[in-house]
Structure 1
Amino acid sequence: MSFGDHHVVPLFWCNNKEFDTNDGGCCDICRHLNFGTDYYFCNKCNVRFHKECVQSPPKIKHPYHPEHSLQLSFCPPNNARYFEGFCCRRRASWLFYHCTTCQAFIHPTCAMKPILFVVDPPKKHNHPLTFFPRQTSLTCNVCGLLRKTNPTYVCVRCNFVAHNICMYFPRIMKMSRHHHRISYIPSAPSRDWFCGVCRQNVNGGYGAYTCEKCNDYVVHSICATGKDVWDGKELECVLEEDDITQDDGSFEMISEGVILYFLHDHHL
């Protein structure tokens, strides 16, 4: 096939699992990073394209949005409107699939990925979660929102509902709006809570993030994980700096970030 004035040459193997982000690493069609090793490239202008973007059919039916067909669309990034992919919450610009009825958007790379019909074990629940395609009236237990276009998973025995994105939210994280770490809780004690980011009321019956050091600090799950306040890192197994520097005699500080623990023979 051809793209612009140049021919696109297929390459079906690469020794890098992802595009090199320091060397023109994004796809030149959708402007997002690669998810695998198969891609197309142009040997005349040194640009690369996702296999999914090049091979995207004009119209698809997708299990995550079974009610309507999705149409392949193109929108330049300088467009004033902001579109968000319902699978990954990344901005949908340049090339994407679009449902004009529901205003639902999905990237070609997300649309072509295999569907997980059962998630076991999920990060936010004790039982396996099953994909439920008719999620119109289901409120997510993790974020507390009813988002009709988001893929939804359910646990029937517990009446538990989670969006595909929400069930992977971190357990412990650091947010730029607060000076301590915050931890996920499935529900908050009954009282009036106000989100530390958006200042709106927090429904204690749904998941949220709290600070163990500040008893009155609560944040909506969706606010805490916003790209403008969170760096995307899970800190559940990462020691806080205060924990590392506190000397209780159980370890020897070797250098910054390196200790010798009394129950282990090697540096940690």
Structure 2
Amino acid sequence: MVTLKHDSHEHELNLTEVDAYMVGKGKCGVCEMQINEASSIYKCLREDCPNNSLSLFFFLHKSCAELPKQITHPHHPQHSLVLGREYNQEIVKLTRGSLPHLTACKLCSRQIDEQMWNYFCKACSYEFLLPTNAYLHIFTFSLCIRCAIMEPAIHHEGHKHHRLTLLRRQLSLICDACGITKENDFCYSCLPCQFWIHSSCAASPATIKLRFHQDDTLHLIYSVPHMYRSFTRHCQICKNEVLKDKWAYFCEDSGYFVHITCARTLLAYGENEIKHEAEEEEEDYAQPHPDLLQFPLPSTDSLVANLLAYHQLKNPSTITNPIAEEPVIQHWSHEHHPLVLSEKSTFKGDADSDDDENDDILICNGCTTPILNQHKYYQCIRCNYFLHISCANHLPIKFPAGKCLADPDHSLNLDKLEIKLGRNLSIAFCHSCHLPTNGFGYRCNSCSKLTDIICCLLPDKIKHDSHKHALVQHFNHPSFKMYQNICTACLAPVLDGFDYRCETCIDVQIHQHCAMLYPKSITHRFDSHTISLLYPPIYYKGIKYCEICELQVNPEAWLYWCRHCDQCFHPNCIRAWHNMKLGDKIFNGGIHRHKLTLVAIDKDRYPQRIHKSLACNQGHDNGSSLDVYLECAGCFFIL
């Protein structure tokens, strides 16, 4: 075994080859750079060495350990430079660091502390008279190890077709590797290609070892692979965007990216672990906030019931609808037929249907959310009309002043928001969330503004499992669009209406429907197992597709996942929500000879449903991705 005794360490060092465990475990005692996986190092093997621990150990790169004691450098050709430490440290102690130029590298201006090795010129010095009448030698030229041993020209995998030449001048240029302008670093350049990278970026190792999802090996890539460009990717350390044409570290097994600058900073501190938000502030999760409504709920069916119970707890004087839970009732919203109490819901359509747009489960005509098997409900089979027990019997008949956004002094009365059909289809819009609806709502007595049930019952504050802090209700005014926030659940813009935000974490905001309408687990006819809701970060190799729409799922957004079948679903595909009950059929002979069905079509998600040959016969297009149509499937007629 080859051994070495070096002045930087008190013990003998043994020559060894780097293994995967060593990557990211400390810095070289001479150049202070990280270990490259394909290199040889001198390592201290003494178990009692105070410099060794489970996460760090003392080592020297083989090239650094074997540095010559004396060199001649092109930036100081008149004298030889000597390898040493403690460059001008005595004057630092005397002046308490007030003269930093005396201990700076003459090329990169990096401060050379008492532990750093450097090459300095003994000939270039002058004497400084101390108050004690003693003289102190002050050296005027020194280079840090990185600048001293920097190669004048290199071949790099990030720019294979030309050699890169070192520019020994500090230039203010945007680095083609990291995308950052850094003035205290040299550049390697290819002048024919106008390609520039920092010398520190050029020295980035081909692989690093980080602990985040597990013991991950990350490979240096020179652009984001095309298969991962369907969505914006973010660095798992700083959470900022990873630019598609810049260098990054990529974990292929877990599918995440890290900026090269973030990885370099983390490893420079002798760390290799990226802590997730839940690990950093684990104590916050110990506060369950029992006084707040907890989301996600076990079932979407219980949403209105939970909102009602919480509202009545906070507002005991609320006047509710006094209808009793009878086997048969005559309800004010469906006066022409009685409603029958049922105990088990069934699918409206054939279980083998190829309609992927929803589950074909029963939808409540009151709140427009699904009715599931574990709850009773009222129904009129002849009219395809269904109501939750809570929507039929327990809704407040009136909201006092405070709920009308147009004027807080106005009161609201329970009403049914009808669809009106004239020459064109018109939908009642909720004044709060600005979404179309055909369910129940509350109408302002003074200004006739409409607000749907869920918006009226929204609590001011909730607790959601996806975040450690409580979330506070926030209203986005449609005219206030100076900047655009992104929902952390679906990654869509947060525009008009209500959302829930964290008052502590400025980057956490969730659409009200994302926060409330997606249950903790769900069942679906596409999968025989229970499907669970997952929150980012979500790790998997390669790319995955939604089993319903067959488009890619984004690992940085919420998704539903079956751990048994390894199947993924978009939340909006497996539990589509439009704030409307779809499927009602309307006949108007003046428009079309057949019955038309109310449908919602997402032109981004299902582009094959809307194209030139199937465009709206009236030339209607509001520019929105999701729109509501009247459709005759047999004639390919869309209005």
Which residue does the alignment assign to 2:437? 92
SS at structure 2 position matched to 1:210:
strand
Matched-pair contact (CA < 8 Å) for 2:476–2:496: no
Structure 1 position 166 matched with structure 2 position 514: yes
Deviation string 1:51-76 (CA, Å, 9 cap, x unpaired) is: 24xx899x94269xxxxxxxx99643
The answer for the alignment partner of 1:143 in structure 2 is: 490
What is the alpha-carbon distance in structure 1 between the residues aligned to residue 326 and residue 434 of structure 2? 22
Question: What is the aligned partner in structure 1 of residue 322 from structure 2?
Answer: 14
How far does the alpha carbon of each residue in 1:96-131 deviate from its partner, in whole angstroms, 9 at most, with x for none? 579xxxxx9742x44543x42221x32433210012
1:194-216 deviation per Cα after TM superposition (whole angstroms, max 9, x unaligned): 2111112211111111110122x
Distance 1:194 1:96, change over 3 A: same
* Gap regions ≥5 residues in structure 1: 1-10, 40-49, 64-71, 99-103, 229-268
Change beyond 3 A, Cα 1:189–1:83:
farther
Q: 2:468 aligns with which of 105, 126, 147?
A: 126
- Rounded to whole Å, the distance in 2 between the matches of 1:12 and 1:213 is 45
Partner of 1:176: 525
Distance 1:96 1:208 in 2: 30
Q: Give distance in 1, aligned partners of 2:450 and 2:515.
A: 20
Seen in structure 2, the aligned counterparts of structure 1 residues 212 and 111 have a Cα distance that, compared at 3 Å, is closer
Q: What CA distance in whole angstroms lies between the structure 2 residues aligned with 1:181 and 1:27?
A: 35
Match of 1:192 among 509, 518, 543: 543
1:167 positional shift: 1.8
Q: In 2, Cα distance between the equivalents of 1:89 and 1:218?
A: 30
For residues 137-176 of structure 1, the C-alpha deviation after alignment (integer angstroms, 9 at most, x for no partner) is: 2222223322523421112434322122222321211112
Structure 2 distance, partners of 1:218, 1:139, is: 22
SS of aligned partner of 1:179: strand
Going from structure 1 to structure 2, the CA distance change for 1:143 and 1:149 (only over 3 Å counts) comes to same
Partner of 1:117: 460
CA distance in 1, matches of 2:530, 2:543: 22
My pick for the range that moved more, 174-183 or 81-90, is 81-90
Identity %: 15
Aligned 8 A contact 2:531 2:560 in 1:
yes
Distance 1:85 1:128, change over 3 A: same
Q: Secondary structure at the match of 1:129?
A: strand
Q: Which residue of 1 aligns with 2:187?
A: none
Which has a greater percent of helix?
2
Please report the TM-score for the alignment, with normalisation by the length of structure 2: 0.24
Contact between 1:144 and 1:203, CA under 8 Å: does it hold in 2? no
The root-mean-square deviation of aligned C-alpha atoms, in Å, is 4.6
Relative to structure 1, the CA distance from residue 26 to residue 205 in structure 2 (aligned partners, 3 Å threshold; closer, same or farther) is: farther
Which position in structure 2 is the counterpart of 1:51?
397
Q: Name the CA shift for 1:60/1:86 in 2 (closer, same or farther; >3 Å).
A: closer
Q: Measure, in 2, the Cα distance between the counterparts of 1:148 and 1:200.
A: 24
Gap change, CA 1:174 and 1:206, over 3 Å in 2: same
- The aligned counterpart of 2:575 is 225
Structure 2 distance, partners of 1:200, 1:26, is: 43
The 3-state SS of whatever aligns with 1:27 is: coil
Structure 2 counterpart of 1:149, which letter?
D
Write the distance in 2 (CA, Å) between the matches of 1:81 and 1:31.
18
- Distance (whole Å) between structure 1 residues aligned to residue 450 and residue 494 of structure 2: 13
2:419 alignment partner AA = P
Number of equivalences:
186
Q: Give SS of 1:167's match.
A: helix
Distance in 2, matches of 1:165 and 1:201, equals 22
Distance in 1 (CA, whole Å) between partners of 2:394 and 2:416 is 23
The residue type equivalent to 1:157 in the other structure is: T
Aligned partner of residue 486 in structure 2, secondary structure: coil
Q: 1:83 to 1:214 in 2, by over 3 A?
A: farther
**What's the CA shift for 1:182?**
1.0
Give yes or no for contact 1:77–1:94 (8 Å, CA) kept in 2. Answer: no
Q: Which amino acid aligns with 2:553?
A: V
2:405 to 61, 64, 87: 61
Shift of 1:24: 3.5
Distance 1:83 1:219, change over 3 A: farther
Tell me, yes or no, if the aligned pair for 2:433 and 2:496 is still in contact at 8 Å: no
Rg larger in 1 or in 2?
2
Unaligned runs of 5+ in 2: 1-318, 336-363, 367-386, 408-414, 444-448, 579-639
Question: Match of 2:512, as an amino acid?
Answer: N
Task: Work out the CA distance in 1 between the residues paired with 2:441 and 2:535.
Answer: 34
Contact 1:124–1:167 at 8 Å: present in 2 too?
Answer: no
Question: What SS does structure 1 have at the residue aligned with 2:485?
Answer: coil
- Describe the shift of the 1:128–1:51 C-alpha distance in structure 2 as closer, same or farther (beyond 3 A): same
For 2:558, the equivalent position in structure 1 comes to 207
CA distance in 2, matches of 1:28, 1:127: 42
Map of 1:27 onto structure 2: 333
**TM-score after normalising by structure 1:** 0.51
Are the counterparts in 2 of residues 92 and 106 from structure 1 also a CA contact under 8 Å? no
Report the AA paired with residue 475 of structure 2.
P
Q: In 1, Cα distance between the equivalents of 2:433 and 2:525? A: 21
Q: Are the structure 2 counterparts of residues 150 and 203 from structure 1 closer, same or farther at C-alpha, using a change threshold of 3 Å?
A: farther
